[in-house]
């Protein structure tokens, strides 16, 4: 709901701050008083095209800001603000602002954050509907007609949307499977060759490191072989060092009792023999580990060469060859099982498509039934609005399969025929602005304001009519105002009398400067203004009496 509108230096408006409430607000004034300037200012704040000619003469810029209260947390404007990082805390208003410079250019703001004019325009369309003679938004846009009909029908589109999502997911899964199988089938010969080659080689995890270590040991053994032989010879045989130590120990053992130092020498010799024996064992183990086997070394080097060659060929690390063999084997298996998998995915796709079709067909029936009810509801509103020769219809027709969507498979558009025998045409094709506004009002009443913005503005909807028709317009506007905030620019006293609030727009002159101002009228002032609308410049007592009757009847 629009709560505050502030205007600075727009054409004839120097400074204006207006507060608005719920219900029906009417704006009246003499022709040329500046009502269009007020609507142009609001349109500017909502993202309309900015023109430097709107800046008041002598000023550098014009500024318009509008504050909106959005009580519903699920309002689409709230979601849009959140998506763009512009959200306010619960209970705080949404403030839009537009600055237009006299030398050209403009800036847009939402909640004091700079935004593009396009984003401001999109947000504005969610907050306010402006229905005027040249407005091409709101009900004139056929893209929104399907959603309006669904709201009128209380149709649950969620089941169709879910079925459509599942159908498209199954379609994508089948397409991916077919692409994978086609790609894999093209590589069948290569796969079979690679699997055969790797299987015959039989790579083992960690094999490169093991083979490289064994080869390094053998290469060391080859370098150390002569020294190892010499060292082993010092230990081996009856003349070896260890044999001589044992022989010396036996002789010393027979003499050790003769002197304490001999006993100590024997103990030290025993320790030396133990260490020498341990050294002999370690030498034997080292000799075995470093044993140089030319045939084994050649086998290891051949294996390493082939292992690393296969790794380079398949562009993987040598230790990843085993995993590669498993992956290629699985890929080959998918090719073999591909036909069976495709059959399953094709069956799933057919099932999901059938579910969507059933849901979409059920939704089409709901829409067709609702269209009949909506046509009847609109028809009942046309005669009181002096549109009794006109006809209205809601077109519900199937779309080509390529245009089916989460909203179903129907095209929905509102069409009218303004004269007997004239063909039906889209709403926007109506030539008469007055007829267009009244048609929109009739449709709004029939739709019971389903899916509309929280604030609606009707600009001179009563142009060219009076009497009973004007009364019918006023009565319907008041009904709509029970469910949304309505602002109406009117020349009709019958409409003005229906307002919950009344703003008078007037020009004033101080001899050099002309200004447009707006005044909120009290009950007495309302009676006087409605009397002026009835009788003209010379207000008569009869006009005042008639104005009182209109206000009482409202």
pLDDT level of residue 521 (50, 70, 90 thresholds): very high
In a domain, 271, yes or no: yes
Torsion of CA 468, 470, 475, 477, to 10 degrees: 160
Burial tier of 281 (Cβ tally within 10 Å: 0-12, 13-18, 19+): exposed
Pairwise CA distance, residues 245 & 279, whole Å: 14
User: What are the C-alpha distances in Å from 44 to residues 51, 52, 58, 108?
Assistant: 9, 12, 20, 10
163 touches 359 (CB < 8 A): yes
Instruction: Give the CA distances from residue 63 to residues 47, 56, 95, 377, 509, in Å, rounded to whole numbers and listed in that order.
Output: 13, 10, 13, 43, 23
Residue 242 counted as domain residue: yes
- Using one digit for the tens of pLDDT, what is the confidence trace for 336-385? 766 677 888 999 999 999 999 999 999 999 999 999 999 999 998 888 88
The residues with which 514 forms a beta bridge, in sequence order, are 509
Stretch 432-444: mean pLDDT, rounded? 76
pTM confidence score: 0.61
- Residue 194 included in any domain: yes
Number of domains in the chain: 1
Evaluate whether residue 18 is within a structural domain. Answer: no
User: pLDDT tens for residues 107-131?
Assistant: 999 999 999 989 999 898 888 888 7
Query: What is residue 134's predicted lDDT score, i.e. its pLDDT?
Result: 47
Give the structural domain span for 204: 189-332
Burial 506-519 (b: 16+ CB within 10 A, else e): eeeeeeeeebbbbe
Helical residues (DSSP H) of 386-432, grouped into ranges? none
Is residue 236 situated within a structural domain?
Answer: yes
Query: Can you give the three-state secondary structure of 225-241, one letter per residue?
Result: HHHHHHHHHHHCCCCCH
The reply to whether 134 falls in a domain is: no
Q: Distance (Å, rounded) from C-alpha 253 to C-alpha 263?
A: 8
What's 318's DSSP letter?
Answer: G
Residue 221 maps to a domain: yes
More confident residue, 399 or 282: 399
CA angle 545, 551, 554 (to 5 degrees): 140
Has residue 230 been placed in a domain?
yes
139 vs 438: CA distance, rounded Å: 12
Find the DSSP H helices in 417-514: 433-447, 467-481, 493-496
CA 268 to chain centre: 89
């Amino acid at each position: 709901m629009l709560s505050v509108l502030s205007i600075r230096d727009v054409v004839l408006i120097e400074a204006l701050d207006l507060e608005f409430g719920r219900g029906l607000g009417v704006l009246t004034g003499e022709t040329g008083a500046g009502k269009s300037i007020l609507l142009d200012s609001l349109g500017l704040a909502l993202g309309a095209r900015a023109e430097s000619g709107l800046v008041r003469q002598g000023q550098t810029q014009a500024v318009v800001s509008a504050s909106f209260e959005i009580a519903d947390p699920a309002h689409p404007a709230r979601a849009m603000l959140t998506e763009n990082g512009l959200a306010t805390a619960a209970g705080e208003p949404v403030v839009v602002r537009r600055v237009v410079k006299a030398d050209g250019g403009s800036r847009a703001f939402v909640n004091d954050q700079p935004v593009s004019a396009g984003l401001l325009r999109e947000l504005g369309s969610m907050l306010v509907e402006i229905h005027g003679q040249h407005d091409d938004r709101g009900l004139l846009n056929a893209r929104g007609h399907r959603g309006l009909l669904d709201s009128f029908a209380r149709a649950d589109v969620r089941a169709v949307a879910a079925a459509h999502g599942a159908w498209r997911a199954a379609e994508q899964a089948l397409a991916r499977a077919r692409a994978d199988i086609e790609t894999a089938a093209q590589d069948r010969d290569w796969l079979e060759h690679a699997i055969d080659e790797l299987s015959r080689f039989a790579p083992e995890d960690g094999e490169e490191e093991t083979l490289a270590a064994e080869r390094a040991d053998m290469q060391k053994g080859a370098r150390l072989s002569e020294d190892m032989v010499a060292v082993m010879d010092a230990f081996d045989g009856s003349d070896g060092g260890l044999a001589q130590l044992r022989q010396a120990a036996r002789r010393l053992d027979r003499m050790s009792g003769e002197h304490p130092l001999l006993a100590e020498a024997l103990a030290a010799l025993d320790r030396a023999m133990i260490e020498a024996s341990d050294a002999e064992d370690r030498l034997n183990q080292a000799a075995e580990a470093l044993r140089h086997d030319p045939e084994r070394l050649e086998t290891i080097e051949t294996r390493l060469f082939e292992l690393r060659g296969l790794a380079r060929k398949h562009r993987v690390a040598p230790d990843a060859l085993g995993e590669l063999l498993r992956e290629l084997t699985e890929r080959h298996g998918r090719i073999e099982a591909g036909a069976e998998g495709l059959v399953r995915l094709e069956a799933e796709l057919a099932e999901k498509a059938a579910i969507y079709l059933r849901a979409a067909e059920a939704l089409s029936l709901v829409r067709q039934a609702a269209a009949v009810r909506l046509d009847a509801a609109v028809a009942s509103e046309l005669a009181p609005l002096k549109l009794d020769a006109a006809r209205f219809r809601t077109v519900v027709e199937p779309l080509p399969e390529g245009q089916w969507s989460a909203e179903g498979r129907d095209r929905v558009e509102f069409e009218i025929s303004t004269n007997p025998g004239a063909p039906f045409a889209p709403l926007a094709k109506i030539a008469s602005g007055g007829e267009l506004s009244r048609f929109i009002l009739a449709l709004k009443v029939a739709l019971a304001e389903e899916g509309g913005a929280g604030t609606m503005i009707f600009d001179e909807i009563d142009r060219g009519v009076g009497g009973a028709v004007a009364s019918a317009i006023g009565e319907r506007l008041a009904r709509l105002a029970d469910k949304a905030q309505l602002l109406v620019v009117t020349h009709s006293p019958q409409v003005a009398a229906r307002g919950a609030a009344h703003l008078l727009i007037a020009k004033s002159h101080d001899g050099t400067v002309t200004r447009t101002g707006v005044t909120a009228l009290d009950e007495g002032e309302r009676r006087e203004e409605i009397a002026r609308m009835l009788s003209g410049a010379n207000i008569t007592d009869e006009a005042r009496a008639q104005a009182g009757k209109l206000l009482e009847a409202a």
